[in-house]
A and B are shown apart, each in its own frame.
Chain A
Amino acid sequence: MSAEVLSVPREPDAFDRFGERLADRINPIVVKEVRQGLRTRVFWIFFSLMLVACLFISLFAFAASDGIADRAGQATFIAYFVCLGFVQFFVIPYAAYRSMSREAEDETWVLLTLTGIGPRRILAGKLGSSVLQGTLYASAATPFLLFSYFLNGIDLPTIIVGVVVSMGYQVFLVSVSVSLATLAESRLVRALLHFVLLGILLQGLGFGIAGAALIGEFAQKVTSSSAFWLTSLCVLFGMVTTGLLLFEAAAARLSLATEDYARGARMVYVVQFLGAAALFLWGWQLSGEAEVLTAGSVTLSVYATLVGLFVGSDRDGMAKLHWVTGGRYSLLKPGGLRGYLLVVTLLLFVAAVFFGLALTEGTLPMGAMLVLVAAPGFALLMLSLPLVIARWIPHPPWQTPAMIRLVFLGLVVLMTGVPPLIGEIVSDADDLFLNALNPIVGLINIERQSHDALPLVLLVWGVAAGLAASAFFSLRARDTEWLA
């Protein structure tokens, strides 16, 4: 056979044609990322290392299986999981971060956006390709994980649950990584974020492996308990909705100024907030303890403050034409005022529901009831105050989102740290009136000294209402100025 004959390309067969059609249908970013990913040395090095490590673990487990009898399967499962987890929870999310930050650095995402592909599909493509790469690793590790079943000590459903949950956890960590990559606007921030990400991923790896160990250890013993399922559902709900929120926030950051970037992120926030409230109500129903409502009120108030800082300081960068079409109070559209109102409305609604239920049941102690009521007041106060301060100072840098968040941090330090210091000198560190507006010591005082605390709760709500009104008018004035 001559060399010329050898060089003639093979005619595409049915399988090739199917592959072509499939590649035509799926997100082009997935095709690109997989092409690029499989070409990298990192992929093949870690793939080989994982296989070699799993092989050694298998040989060791097989040789030692007589000595450790029925516990061998569980220990081997965790050992395999460490190998797979390192790749899934560290290498792949880190590679996704690098890929996304390169896209931002080289400004290729701008070119991608112009194709009409949109930031959501770009990010979905990154996530999809990470899942595909994770599946490749997992499929290589699955025979080893099954081998641990034959060594006894772990059942098949636990192994399957472990693999499935790990895939979900990997998607969550990739979402975190990709979102962080969209924050890097300057070289300094990029360098800082790089370290932050490494820290997050190392911690995430630790949680992932610990989670696998817990699943291996306790899954069979506690699956019949409803508390186990509630906890699992809460963790899963938190992971999925936070991952989605980060995803939507990243998509919003990548959106062009000509697009409505806020809708997705705000929708997810609404679902997450109401879903979390529903889970607290379920927990209250299951346990029959009204304190769960207080815990829910405090947790959701803290969360609303943190999210509110981001949406309330949103700059109105999008095209005025789109801005105007939505009306001033279309809460899912971009803009600080709309974001602020969305967060406050949700918080007040959920707080009112919790308060009503606690009041109806009538078993909640006075202290816990006052905390339930005071927590949203503190949230409103802490959220509104930085917005008002930023507006008072007539220099534009003070009104940037970053500065508003810095003001918030400063206020947290001042309001939680200074009153106890003065109290220490004057009377007690936890003095009731000095700490009246202290969001931490104040709440603790309200719970401990409930008989004297009603005026304090009223004071907190009075100040919060005043500041909320001021923040509302400030943000509305900013909108008007911007539109002029």
Chain B
Amino acid sequence: MSALLEVKGLSRFYGSLKAVDDITFSLPEGTILGFIGPNGAGKSTTMRIIATLDVPTSGEVLLEGKSLVARPDQARPLLGYMPDRYGTYDDMTVFEFLDFFARAYRLRGNERKARVDSVMDFAGLLPLKDKLTSELSKGMKQRVALGRTLLHDPRLLILDEPADGLDPRARIELRELLRALASQGKAVLISSHILTELSEICDTCAIIEQGHLLATGTVQEVLSRTSNAAAFSEVELTLFAPGGAGLEEIGKKAERLLLEQPLVTNVTVLNHAVRFRLELAAGQTPSSGWVEEASVRVLKVLVNAELPVTSFRTREHDLEDAFMSVTKGRVQ
């Protein structure tokens, strides 16, 4: 797949502050890239540069192979930018708002009407077309903002924290909308703090901290890379006690045995479930398969002690773990 967007060695310095420092990634069409990082990591700065709102100190951003730093005017028709603030006019109806922006994008007559109708239909705004935007819920306002972003049919969408403050239903609906847009061939660059959401939406991800890109690739690639490199893993096991008799005693025995084992920390017992963490000591380098080896050893101890273990599983490494393992929580 050819890359629609290519970011090469991008840096943005504000005096001595390096907001973005030499980051490189690409985004093919029909792909959703999740941009992950703590506050102040440089996500919004990068997005603003790609949206032609700011200029890099050095580096290049290519959209369809052409520099958007050199010719932002040519790049703008190809991109749609949705900032973290929705930017709606409270005293306009949904239709008036979209109609106004369609005019601003120089859409005329029937073409404009058709485009506004199609966007309202896609974003599920038709029943709300005569409502003032000030009367809409946050989720609906966000749909209006997304609709505005789509009016000129851009090929690249840049969405800065679009899921922020949305309720679960609105988030699921947003996810479906974004998936539909990707299936239309649009490339989507999305930043979010809600990592579980991103892992379900995104095909690729880029983790950024202190202006540096720490990991990038498909979600699976980043997960497998970071799970191998992770220094900890969460484990959950279930104990069996017929009718609950002696459960407390079994639980205490399990806790005591677990705490005696090397690498085991954070043991919690709750009824039938026992959770603990396998964690390497500070300075130890994780080797491939160390979690599996440690798990086998611990399970063997429990079984040898004749504890009634009915299930034993290590929790799957997700984007949140990947994020935690590669970042150090530093902000600028």
- CB neighbours (8 Å) of A318 from chain B are 55
Contact in complex: A111, B108 (CB < 8 Å) = no
Nearest chain B residue, comparing its CB with the CB of A258: B72
- Residues 114-133 of A, flagged 1 when their CB comes within 8 A of B and 0 if not, give 11110000000000000000
List the A residue with the shortest CB-CB distance to B83.
A107
Nearest-neighbour CB distance to chain A for B50, whole angstroms, equals: 12
Do A114 and B109 have beta carbons less than 8 Å apart? no
**Within residues 89 to 134 of chain B, which ones have a CB less than 8 A from any CB in chain A?**
89, 91-92, 96, 100-101, 103-106, 108-109, 112
Closest B residue by C-beta to A102: B89
User: In the bound complex, what is the Cα–Cα distance between A318 and B76 (angstroms)?
Assistant: 17
B51 at interface (Cβ–Cβ under 8 A)? yes
Instruction: Please name all residues of chain A whose beta carbon is closer than 8 Å to the beta carbon of B91 when the two chains form the complex.
Output: 36, 39-40
In the complex, how many residues of chain A place their beta carbon closer than 8 angstroms to a beta carbon of chain B?
Answer: 31
Chain B residues with CB under 8 A of A31: 100, 103
Q: Does B54 contact A (CB under 8 A)?
A: yes
A143 within 8 A of B: no
A106: interface (CB < 8 Å) = yes
Cβ of B43 < 8 Å from any Cβ of A?
no
A462 on the interface (CB 8 Å rule)?
no
Task: For chain B, residues 137 to 182, give those with C-beta under 8 angstroms from any C-beta of chain A.
Answer: 148, 152
Which residue on chain B has the smallest CB distance to residue A256? Answer: B53
A11 at the interface (CB under 8 A from B): no
A35 within 8 A of B: yes
- Known contacts A20-B109, A35-B92, A107-B83; A28/B100 CB under 8 A: yes
> In the bound complex, what is the Cα–Cα distance between A259 and B81 (angstroms)?
18
B15 on interface, CB distance cutoff 8 Å = yes
User: Which residues of chain B from 37 to 90 have a CB within 8 Å of any chain A CB?
Assistant: 51-55, 69-70, 72-73, 76-77, 81, 83, 85, 87-89
Interface of B is mostly: loop
Contacts of B88 in A (CB 8 A): 108
List residues of chain A with CB within 8 A of the CB of B73.
116
Question: Closest approach, in angstroms, between the C-beta of B267 and any C-beta of chain A?
Answer: 49
Q: A106-B87, A116-B77 are in contact. Are A258 and B52 (CB under 8 A)?
A: yes
A24 at interface by CB-CB < 8 Å: yes
Interface of chain A residues 281 through 332 with chain B (CB within 8 A): 318-321
Q: Does A69 contact B (CB under 8 A)?
A: no
Q: Report the minimal beta-carbon distance from B47 to chain A, rounded to whole angstroms.
A: 12
B100 touches A321 (CB 8 A): no
Supposing A39-B91, A108-B87 touch, asked if A114 and B52 sit within 8 A by C-beta, the answer is yes
- Find residues 215-263 in chain A having any chain B CB closer than 8 Å to their own CB: 256-259
* CB-based nearest A residue for B103: A28
CB of A412 closer than 8 Å to a CB of B: no
Q: Give B122 Cβ to nearest chain A Cβ, in Å.
A: 19
Q: In the assembled complex, which residues on chain A have CB atoms less than 8 Å from the CB atom of B108?
A: 24
Please tell me if the beta carbons of B55 and A257 are within 8 angstroms of each other in the complex: yes
Chain A residues near B152: list those with CB within 8 A. Answer: 115
Name the distance in Å between A11's Cβ and chain B's nearest Cβ: 15
CA distance A311 to B70 in the complex (A): 25
A341 interface residue per 8 A CB criterion: no
Q: With the chains together, A256 CA to B70 CA distance in Å?
A: 13
Mark A14-36 against chain B: 1 for CB-CB distance below 8 A, else 0: 00000011011000110110011
List chain A residues, Cβ under 8 A from B72: 256, 258-259
A396 contacts chain B at the CB level, 8 A cutoff: yes
Q: Are A114 and B55 in contact (CB under 8 A)?
A: no
Q: In the complex, what residues of B have CB within 8 A of residue A114's CB?
A: 51-53, 76, 81
Nearest chain A residue, comparing its CB with the CB of B151 = A115
Provide the residues of chain B in CB contact with A117, threshold 8 Å: 104
List of A residues within 8 angstroms of B76 by Cβ: 114-116
* Interface: A112 (CB within 8 A): yes
Choose among B55, B103, B105 the residue that contacts A24 (Cβ–Cβ < 8 A): B103
Q: How many angstroms from the CA of A321 to the CA of B52 in the assembled complex?
A: 14
**Alpha-carbon separation in the docked complex, A23 to B102 (Å):** 12
Give the contacting residue for A32; candidates B85, B92, B109; CB below 8 A: B92
Counting CB contacts under 8 A, is A110 at the interface? yes
User: Nearest Cβ in chain A — how far from B119, in angstroms?
Assistant: 14
Tell me the nearest residue of chain B to A21, going by C-beta: B109
Report the bound CA distance from A40 to B91 in whole Å: 9
Question: Contacts A32-B92, A36-B92, A256-B72 hold; do A106 and B100 have CB atoms under 8 A apart?
Answer: no
Q: What is the CA–CA distance of A117 and B152 in the complex, to the nearest angstrom?
A: 13
Residues in A neighbouring B77, C-beta threshold 8 A: 116
Assuming the contacts A256-B52, A256-B72, asked whether A24 and B109 have C-beta atoms less than 8 A apart, the reply is yes
**Which B-chain residue is minimally distant from A325 (CB atoms)?**
B70
Contact B55 A258 (CB under 8 A): yes
| B112 contacts across to A, CB distance below 8 A | 24
Residues in chain A near residue B89, CB distance under 8 A: 32, 36, 108
Known: A36-B91, A115-B105. A110 touches B100 (CB 8 A): no
Query: Could you tell me the distance in whole angstroms from the C-beta of B39 to the nearest C-beta in chain A?
Result: 18
Residue picked from B54, B85, B104, most chain A C-beta under 10 Å: B104
Which B residues touch A112, using CB under 8 A?
104
The contact sample of 9 A-B pairs, CB cut-off 8 A, is A28-B104, A32-B92, A39-B91, A106-B85, A111-B87, A256-B52, A258-B53, A258-B55, A319-B55
| The 9 residue pairs across chains A and B that have the minimum distance between CB atoms | A28-B103, A115-B104, A258-B72, A319-B55, A108-B87, A32-B100, A117-B104, A28-B104, A24-B108
Taking A110-B53, A111-B101 as known contacts, 14 extra A-B pairs with beta carbons closer than 8 A to each other, sorted by chain A number, are A20-B109, A21-B109, A24-B108, A24-B109, A24-B112, A28-B104, A32-B100, A114-B76, A115-B101, A115-B105, A116-B106, A256-B54, A258-B52, A259-B72
